A = this chain, B = another copy of it.
Amino acid sequence: MTDRFIPPGFDVMKFAAVDVRQAASAADIVYEALRKAIIEGDLAEGENLRQDQIAQMFNISRIPVREALSRLEQHGLITTQRYKGAVVAGLSVEEIEEIFEFRALIEAEVIRLAVPNLDRQTLEKARRYCDAFDRETDPHRLGEINRNFHYSLYEASRRPYYLQNVRSSLDRIDRYLRAQLTFTNGVPRAGREHEAILAACEQGDAELASRLTRDHILDAGRSLMTFLREQRG
């Protein structure tokens, strides 16, 4: 493998560490890179994604780029029109509200299923993420730590299909959450809510953890709505 797959700002080694069993295809690499760029908000909504331009960034042909774009479309991160190309998907306020509603439903269920399976090690890991969240200021890392905190608990549910849907729905709205964290200061509140969720988990109270998770997501959704409404006018 030469350096031809390494565009500026993409950490190949990080990806390789995720899946050592088999080398990633070019399409995999492009997919992961674009997904990351979209959910972190580095690619603004509505931005054109030209196949040729992306191919040149990675020093590959358009074939794997098209495959990556096709996958991104399936996940709702971009929209494409025949012969016109792909743009980063923009979500209406109604669509964002619906996704928060959906997340509240399934993540509340996932945490309920997870609590009985939580062991000390997992709780300690979650505690570290929870503390790190309070100390962090960089919005990208905040988003990452937020994910890790919730996922570390959710994984104990042993429900891979649920988790896949959690990830997919969070992917769609993550950039809006991060934008909000950058401009407003919702971090202290989110931190307190994380603290309460973790406490409920430590006490083995599945119903409480579930209710708090639900409220945590709906709170974040509501404050994002007010932020977006004034931002969009």
Say which residue of B22, B82, B95 sits within 8 Å of A161 (CB atoms): B95
- What's the Cα separation between A22 and B79 when bound, in Å? 14
Given contacts A22-B81, A22-B82, A165-B165, 12 further A-B contacts (CB under 8 A): A27-B70, A63-B63, A66-B67, A67-B67, A98-B159, A98-B160, A98-B162, A101-B159, A102-B159, A102-B161, A105-B105, A161-B169
Q: How far does the Cβ of A87 sit from chain B's closest Cβ, in whole Å?
A: 16
Count of this chain's copies in the oligomeric assembly: 2
Q: Say whether B102 contacts A165, CB under 8 Å.
A: yes
Closest B residue to A84 by CB, please name it: B22
Take A66-B67, A67-B70, A82-B22 as given contacts and tell me if A105 and B98 are in contact as well, using a CB distance cutoff of 8 Å. no
Q: Does A36 contact B (CB under 8 A)?
A: no
Q: Does A185 contact B (CB under 8 A)?
A: no
Q: Hey, which chain B residues are within 8 Å of A189, CB to CB?
A: none
Say which residue of B22, B82, B105 sits within 8 Å of A106 (CB atoms): B105
Q: Hey, which chain B residues are within 8 Å of A81, CB to CB?
A: 22
Q: List 25 A-B contacts (CB under 8 A).
A: A22-B81, A22-B82, A23-B82, A27-B70, A66-B67, A70-B70, A70-B71, A71-B71, A71-B74, A74-B74, A74-B75, A95-B160, A95-B161, A98-B159, A98-B161, A99-B161, A101-B159, A102-B106, A102-B159, A102-B161, A102-B162, A105-B105, A105-B106, A161-B169, A165-B165
Within 8 A of B (CB), among A73-92: 74-75, 81-82
Q: How far does the Cβ of A55 sit from chain B's closest Cβ, in whole Å?
A: 15
- What's the Cα separation between A161 and B75 when bound, in Å? 11
Q: Hey, which chain B residues are within 8 Å of A160, CB to CB?
A: 95, 98
Q: Does A109 contact B (CB under 8 A)?
A: yes
Q: How far does the Cβ of A18 sit from chain B's closest Cβ, in whole Å?
A: 15
